[in-house]
Chains A and B, each alone.
Chain A
Amino acid sequence: MRLPAQPGERLDRTRPLTFTFEGATVEAFEGDTIASALYAGGRRVFSRSFKYHRPRGLLCCTGSCPNCLMQVDGAPGIRACIEPARAGAVVRAQNVLGSLDRDALAVIGKIGGPFTPVGFYYRTMIRPRWAWPYYEKVLRNLAGLGRVDRHGRRTRRFDTEHRRTQVLVIGGSEGGVTAARAAAAAGEQVVLVDEGLSLELGGLDELGIEVVAPARAIGIYEGGLVPVDAGNVLLRFRAERIVVATGSLDQPLVFPGNDLVGVMLPNGIRRLVREWALRPGERAVVIAPAVEPIVDDLRAAGTEVARVFDLNERPPKEIVARGRKGRLASVRVDGETVACDLLVMSSGRQPAYSLLAQAGARIEYDAATGIFVPRDLPANVEAAGSVAGTSHAVPNLFPASAGKRRFVCLCEDVTTKDVRRAIAEGFDSLELAKRYTTVTMGPCQGRLCHLASVRLYARETGSDEAAIGTTTARPPWSPVTLGLLAGRGHEPVKHTSLHRRHEELGARMMWAGAWRRVHSYGDPAEETRAVHRAVGVIDVSTLGKLVVSGPDAVAFLERLYPNRFVDLKPGRIRYGVLGTDAGRIMDDGTIGRLSEQQLYVTTTSTGAEAVLEWFEWWNAVWRMDVEIVDVTGALAAVNVAGPNARELLGRLTELDVSPDGFRYLDLKEAPVAGTPCLLLRIGFVGELGYEIHCPSPLAEHLWDTLLERGADLGVRPFGLEAQRILRLEKQHIIVGQDTDSESNAIDAGMPWIVKLDKEDFVGKWALEHLQERGPRERLVGFELDGAAVPAEGSQVVVAGRPAGRVTSARWSDELQRSIGLAWVPPALAEEGSRLEIRLNGSLQPAVVRARPFFDPEGTRLRS
């Protein structure tokens, strides 16, 4: 049912296509929207309303109202009036029980009305309390519009593009096109973004103007960022000048029956007729200011114009629309009843100022034109065309009449009566009433209801629009999908340069932050045995690694750490604990002095980024002569540990590895297996050990050589699980696991690293205070009677109350005991103190062990 070809219509009648609606085939042409094709096929009901399930038909045809929201290819909330018809699209109605034409839930609107006034749910269903979950289930099922597939996956790929231009024009309205042309003529680089609703964009590219359409500006954010939804691409625009030309929006009149199917806005008529060659109805009544263009459109479509009321001449005192089964049948205006199936109505046009308001413009009511207009635009933001406030609307038009419902807000089914009641109940400011009645909070974001609700407020409270003001214009200006915002759906995983080797060895991997690390190569207990009896190798490449150099390098670290470094000789290493301003433990690691002015700092794996930021921040604050280079990714690291470690290392290097030649806490640079390496003799796992740092690309070679040449020495790769057991046997802490955001080095049993006699360091005042105050809790080792191992996080219980917590616990094969670390009250922190630990709901006795469980003298470590 199409009209003959219209001048400038969007249809390409040579290219028909079909899609389905509720399973039935719908015919369309290229250039149709889903709504226009359905309208051509005779469909008039496009949705059911949110609360009362009233039938609703096309109203604005510009994507501004909630009346045509549908499910398209599984995606909810699609504005069918602006969604291009695609061959094969699967379109369904949403929020109906049954079908659009017979929705069983319409019963709510028919008989539920008196029981469901505004805010009824706050006043009902309170007693009995146990019944609320059942009521709620019903409410939740009734609420909501569209549906998402509960078990759906990501199906589309979205990308993000960062764009710059001199001038960004938002909106292809007449004002926008004029501004774009002028800017292009002045030699500026111009991009024009348009929703695809404008027809006059031809020829712009010849002027060098880039037209992005169909696309929607999402908002104007901080720093002039304008993200644009261009289908599968999110364009993040930054422009020297932003021209907002979003035009103005038809504002509906509020009268009984104003939501009937067949009541439409002028722009909707214009688009149906001119763009899609459709006859909007057979017999029409027009009530609007500026009626001529509407009448022209209707006549062009062959619609009989039964009666015209020009609001500019004489606003009617009474308007009542009557319908049959939700469809418009007649309109009574000031006592005169006219039968019709179409009512084109408007109270005028309101500037679509939201983007300007987001950008920082002040919004002010202009009594002369009856609209809200943007004022005091921020620098570099301009308004062009009717958005600047050149339109007008007929003020305070609420034709009196009793009885039927008059909808102020179509999205939320809020009536004038609801608003009146809210005010009478005391919700007498616009923001309060908005939250109570939910007017303007639906999918239209106030486009069609904000002005009307402000007018109604003004009227009911005996105030005026200027005094009532507006509510905050919250972004986004047009709804945007999470998929587009998210862009590509992945977060990178980090692999060390030895990852492939671990996979080849059949390692069980685990997640340590974004890193994938080796949990074990099969049997963690076996791996600990290898370290204690022979030699083990572990990939510790994830450690943070920083080179700190410059004349002030030592002084810089001296200020950052509670440790002392001035006496650290080149070639020596010290364990360091990094503290916050409040003296809390932030990270730990080793600091090795490479030369007078150069130090090598390692951090924990998870703390690497934070420590780098921390260093850089303080470097910026103190302005010392220090250079910090992050070599975390550049260097791989392998720890070789166990009684046979010296023998193994000796086979691979020329270096003197004798106990006197390479002492505990020595740092050396030397080739190992032909690879330039940095060697740190330290012992996190409690045995004689060397941490070998080498360039990442050579790590596999180093690793292979270690395993190959150590075969007869019993070398074995070990994973994090074995390392956790081994370090626990030594009571070495893991920052972040054994410490929390309030732990400090003194309470954690490391007072020896805190040099309070230093002039100053970060957190010194706090540690002094903590020293003076004495510990509130202490970190100690414990052994459990029996073989049970408490879960990490278990509680130390005193008199039935939580009094401390287990931070680490493991079974030690070497010691044949269940061991752990726990924070306990100072009174329970002495060697031999008895503890009770809650394990699977019952209390287990444990004994405090203040010294390392394994090799307490450290003779093996230092051997």
Chain B
Amino acid sequence: MAKYIVATVDEIPPGERKLITVSGRAIGVFNINGQYFALRNRCPHQGGALCDGRLSGLMQADLPGEYQYSRPDEILRCPWHGWEFDIRTGQSWVDPAKTRVRNYPVAVESGQALPQNDFEAAGWQKGPYLAETYPVSVEQQYVVVEV
């Protein structure tokens, strides 16, 4: 898998998301309480723009009337039909055996760890927006998505 630099960390503060296109794929990168997640922006059900969806928690009940609400903001719900996906794994909670969204590893890497002028040689490919939108500083940290 190739690595793409898709944003600076400042660009996606906690609770925010960024929609990108990398290698022909529309992907949403989310910051949930400081952790980054990236999912394909296409619902496997009927193709809705999944990453435009609302984030909510996991609602469970062992018995009728006994509700447990957990994992706030970690469940992404498709804006069309409301299918739910685990932001950490892309796993659908509706039918785990059948429906899974492609998810991609996301890492935060120190700017100093990245060779400034030799990304390609290091096996990196630049994302489409980094150079255009934010100047890169040595101390800056990047959000990197593997596709």
The answer to whether A binds B is no
Binding site for A on B (CB under 8 A): none
